[in-house]
């Protein structure tokens, strides 16, 4: 390669050519786990506190909710991601069988998809023939074109489970910090939880195109709605029980 301008551009491009994790692995699980931990615990202590419970009951309820929620999130993520991967493997087996039984029809189908993408008929046919010379490459290309997923980028159920467990536990403990330190003010605990929602929402904006303040306020609004609803329920049940 004797093109200085191209070499310079390639060198510059190598530093910025990276993408965030969008495959549904640890990022989605951790984000969902942290948000769920915050909202669930905030709503839980708001409901229990609204019913007139003291600090000890709030701490007990909150910690039980954190433990139960963390395990529920982890098991749910493990089952969900594992099922998703199993379904993809099953579809790959179907496609592999079709490639073996109808190779020319599958090659024609792939060429048609390339033409739909904008390639000329001659180029599409040539690329399709080249791809089908390697059965494994053909399988991956058909899965990518027909299902929009990659066999090489399947998320790990274990990573998703551990990420969601840890994130839920951390998020769920934030609204309980003041109670664990000995304070009994429900308003203070909810305020700390609100700060946690703002911080978590702002953090997620680093992985999206949404502004940090928009993401933060949106998450705070979700938590406020949940806390308001459970506080009202707790207050009504507390009054009727009394």
Identify the pLDDT of residue 70.
96
Identify the pLDDT of residue 155.
87
pLDDT digits over 90-110, tens only?
999 999 999 999 999 999 999
CA distances from 167 to 29, 38, 161, 200, 230 (A): 8, 10, 10, 11, 23
Identify the pLDDT of residue 125.
94
Q: What is the DSSP letter of 209?
A: S
Closest CA to 95 of 62, 51, 132: 132
What's the length of the chain? 242
Identify the pLDDT of residue 79.
95
Identify the pLDDT of residue 209.
77
CA distances from 131 to 94, 123, 128, 201 (A): 18, 12, 5, 44
Identify the pLDDT of residue 242.
46
> Which residue numbers in the chain have pLDDT < 50?
241-242
Say how far apart CA 21 and CA 73 lie, in whole Å. Answer: 20
pLDDT digits over 190-199, tens only?
999 999 999 9
């Amino acid at each position: 390669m004797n093109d200085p301008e191209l070499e310079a551009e390639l060198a510059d491009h190598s530093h910025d050519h990276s993408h965030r994790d969008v495959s549904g692995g640890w990022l989605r699980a951790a984000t969902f786990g942290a948000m769920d931990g915050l909202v669930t615990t905030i709503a839980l202590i708001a409901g229990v506190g609204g019913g007139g419970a003291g600090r000890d009951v709030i701490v007990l309820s909150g910690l039980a909710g954190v433990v139960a929620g963390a395990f529920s999130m982890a098991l749910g993520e493990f089952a969900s991601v594992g099922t998703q991967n199993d379904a993809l493997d099953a579809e790959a087996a179907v496609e592999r069988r079709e490639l073996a039984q109808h190779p020319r029809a599958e090659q024609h189908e792939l060429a048609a998809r390339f033409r739909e993408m904008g390639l000329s008929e001659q180029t599409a046919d040539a690329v399709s023939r080249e791809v089908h010379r390697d059965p494994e490459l053909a399988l991956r290309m058909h899965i990518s074109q027909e299902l929009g997923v990659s066999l090489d980028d399947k998320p790990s159920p274990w990573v998703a489970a551990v990420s969601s467990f840890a994130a839920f536990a951390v998020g769920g403990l934030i609204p309980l910090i003041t109670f664990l330190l000995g304070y009994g003010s429900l308003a203070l605990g909810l305020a700390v939880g609100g700060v946690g929602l703002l911080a978590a929402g702002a953090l997620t904006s680093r992985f999206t195109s949404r502004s940090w303040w928009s993401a933060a306020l949106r998450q705070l609004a979700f938590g406020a709605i949940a806390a308001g609803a459970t506080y009202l329920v707790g207050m009504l049940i507390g009054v009727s029980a009394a």
